[in-house]
């Protein structure tokens, strides 16, 4: 991961930044999935847990040749008026590293109740007493709203956590969201 491309969302009076980010991320995900790319990582330089927001800046990471290939594809077509895309640049020598991962909340209480009913032979009332609605996990992380073509799910929040900084780069592959449970991206 020796190069990167910065993609900045331009302000738009008709679309909120999170809507533009969702549109960009859907296109990124679709392109990575269709082309089987596991060598492109994503980070969010304006990520802020206090708000929480991913910000208006997306950074793609990879080898120069990988980024050349990806950026030559028409995946940004139709969004050019909303984006400022940098050239492919070398990662600074003093960059640190961090993991950028997807975080999924534990199953919803209703799903956990159905599971308990199947596994433990409980009726609906007993399952409700054992697993109340208050058992739902509420994530306080930045997210982007996406739809899934593979599952047909109309929309879902993709929660993203940027891990602590490290001086050590970890190798690995990235999923079709540009995220990894193993690999790190350069952080600067």
Residue numbers annotated as active site: 29
Residue 187 CA to chain centroid, in angstroms? Answer: 16
What are the helix (H) ranges across the chain? 17-34, 64-72, 109-120, 124-130
Distance CA 58, CA 26 (A): 13
Residue 26 CA to residue 145 CA, distance in Å, equals: 9
Q: 18-21 — which CB contacts under 8 Å span 24+ positions? A: 18/53, 18/144, 18/145, 20/56, 20/79, 20/82, 21/54, 21/56, 21/58, 21/144
């Amino acid at each position: 991961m020796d190069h990167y491309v910065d993609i900045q969302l331009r302000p738009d009076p008709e679309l909120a930044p999170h809507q533009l980010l969702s549109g960009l991320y859907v296109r990124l995900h679709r392109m990575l999935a269709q082309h089987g790319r596991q060598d492109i990582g994503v980070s969010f330089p304006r990520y802020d847990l206090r708000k929480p927001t991913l910000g208006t800046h997306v950074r793609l990471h990879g080898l120069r040749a990988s980024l050349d290939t990806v950026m030559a594809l028409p995946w940004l077509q139709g969004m050019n008026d909303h984006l400022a895309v940098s050239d492919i640049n070398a990662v600074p020598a003093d960059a640190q590293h961090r993991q950028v991962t997807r975080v999924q909340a534990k199953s919803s209480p209703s799903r956990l109740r159905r599971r308990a009913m199947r596994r433990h032979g409980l009726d609906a009332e007993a399952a409700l007493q054992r697993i109340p609605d208050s058992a739902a996990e509420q994530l306080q992380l930045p997210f982007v709203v996406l739809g899934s073509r593979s599952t047909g799910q109309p929309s879902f929040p993709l929660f993203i956590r940027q891990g602590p900084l490290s001086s050590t780069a970890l190798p690995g592959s990235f999923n079709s969201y540009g995220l990894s449970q193993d690999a790190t991206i350069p952080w600067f």
